[in-house]
Amino acid sequence: MHPPIAAEDATVSMLELALQNAPSNAQLRRSYFVKLFHLARTHVGLTAARLPELSHPLFFRCGTSDILNMLQIFQRQEYGSVIPHTPARILDLGAYAGYAAVFLANRFPAAEILAVEPSPANYRMLQMNTLPYRAIRTLQAAVWDRTARLEVAARDTGDWGNILRQADGGDIAGFSVADLLASQAWRCAEFVKCDIEGSEVRVFSDPRAPWLDGIDTLAIETHDRMIPGCSAAVAACFPTATYDRSRSGELDVFARRTPRRIEPRRLPPVKLLHAGPGLSPTQPRNLAPQPWAFFLFDDTCCQLHPNPPGALPAQLALAVRLDGQRRFSARIRIAHPASQDVVFKLEIRDASDGRIAFSAQRRVAAATSQDWRETLPALSGGFEVVLQVEMAPGAAQCGYAWAQWLDPVIA
């Protein structure tokens, strides 16, 4: 037993509970971060913070620089007011443990985010913290002015201070920003967050680089004390005739006065099935008691076995919130050749009154599959989406009717 640790955990837990009940209490929030800082400075090992504005915990490593980065982002709110235009795509260069990516995913839930981090240890933390957020993609790599192999040249102030240099046979993959955008099939990234410990002198070495034209806002921490010339290189890429420049904590912020690209708001896709963090309510109906009657597989797919001919259809009802999404897509299949035909049905009901807002069905033969796409009416609010299967007319039995819904999405 270790009484000091138990006592510290109890204090943190009590503050977390108090914050959940009073999330806008600034003094309570300060006290909580003071306790987290003390915990990080007096222990080693992995633990988590639980903030009232987040649905999922934030992991941090005691004894490392993690807590300092978390304080910058979630206590001092350095990214809280630096983005005047709503971005559709966010590039997080030097994503560290994922705290900025999580903050930005919660502030801009419709945005796509690519978080890039070279350190293997930091990248593990980045994956842990961003796993619940489907809009965040991660890449273990460094950003450079070209494709290159890199290595760590020095380390400044802990895990968040890896200084890189180019080296044949280096163990770190380096890519240009143009490479990163192409890997995501992005034309541009409207918001770029950059904290790369001096590598900015390479990344921003060409003020005429085409990828710079797509940036509406850059928030960057420059490191002239590590690599001279960083601030000058960045400033040369963002002329004062076009961009306003300001400071937020340790960040230099360059914001285009008039955003170059004004696009319609992207509606986030609603994945009907998932095996990731966070619980989504479901209601199975008329299912056989055997385990093969319903199960998830490959994270976003399910088997829903039909009942015998003439019995009630097997259904899976899913509670969702929609915000105007207009397209349904899925792949449907009967995975066993010994089956007979099965009818797949999609039904969307208004959660408030049960009214059917949309209904469609498809017939699938044994050992075949179909891509199913439907245009939906613009639906907003709470709905019940029902995935249904039943044996087709004329079927004699339901054996081996492995009816499967693959990646059903409303987008």
pLDDT tens per residue across span 330-351: 999 999 999 999 999 999 999 9
Helix/strand/coil (H, E, C) string of 381-402? Answer: EEEEEEEEEEECCCCCCCCCCC
Q: Where are the beta strands (DSSP E) in 56-183?
A: 58-62, 89-93, 112-116, 136-139, 142-143, 148-155, 162-166, 172-175
Which stretches of 287-377 are DSSP H helices?
none
Predicted confidence band at 74 (pLDDT cuts at 50, 70, 90)? Answer: very high
pLDDT at 155 (0 to 100):
75
CATH 2.60.120.260 segments of the chain: 270-410
Instruction: Give me the mean pLDDT over the 375-388 stretch.
Output: 96
pLDDT at 262 (0 to 100):
53
Q: For residue 6, is pLDDT > 60?
A: no
Q: What separation, in Å, do the N-terminal and C-terminal C-alpha atoms of the chain show? A: 51
pLDDT at 158 (0 to 100):
66
Q: How confident is the model over 78-93, as pLDDT tens digits?
A: 998 888 889 999 999 9
Q: For residue 156, is pLDDT > 90?
A: no
Comparing CA positions, the residue from 112, 109, 111 lying closest to residue 180 is: 112
123/90 Cα distance (integer angstroms): 18
CATH superfamily of the 77-256 domain: Vaccinia Virus protein VP39 (3.40.50.150)
Residue 245: its H or E element: strand 243-248
Predicted confidence band at 131 (pLDDT cuts at 50, 70, 90)? Answer: very high
Q: For residue 200, is pLDDT > 90?
A: yes
List CB contacts of 272: < 8 A, sequence separation 6 or more: 318, 320, 385, 387, 408, 409, 410
Q: How confident is the model over 218-261, as pLDDT tens digits?
A: 999 999 988 899 999 999 999 999 999 999 999 999 999 988 76
Q: For residue 110, is pLDDT > 60?
A: yes
CATH 3.40.50.150 segments of the chain: 77-256
Q: For residue 191, is pLDDT > 70?
A: yes
Beta bridge partner(s), residue 139 = 116
| Dihedral-angle region of residue 367 (phi above 0 means left; psi in -120 to 50 means alpha; beta otherwise) | left
Q: How confident is the model over 285-315, as pLDDT tens digits?
A: 999 999 999 999 999 999 999 999 999 999 9
Predicted confidence band at 163 (pLDDT cuts at 50, 70, 90)? Answer: confident
Instruction: Identify which of 24-28, 76-80, 377-381, 384-388 has the greatest average pLDDT.
Output: 384-388
The answer to whether domain 270-410 has CATH 2.60.120.260 is yes
Q: What is the chain's mean pLDDT, rounded?
A: 92
Tell me what percent of the residues of the chain surpass a pLDDT of 70: 95
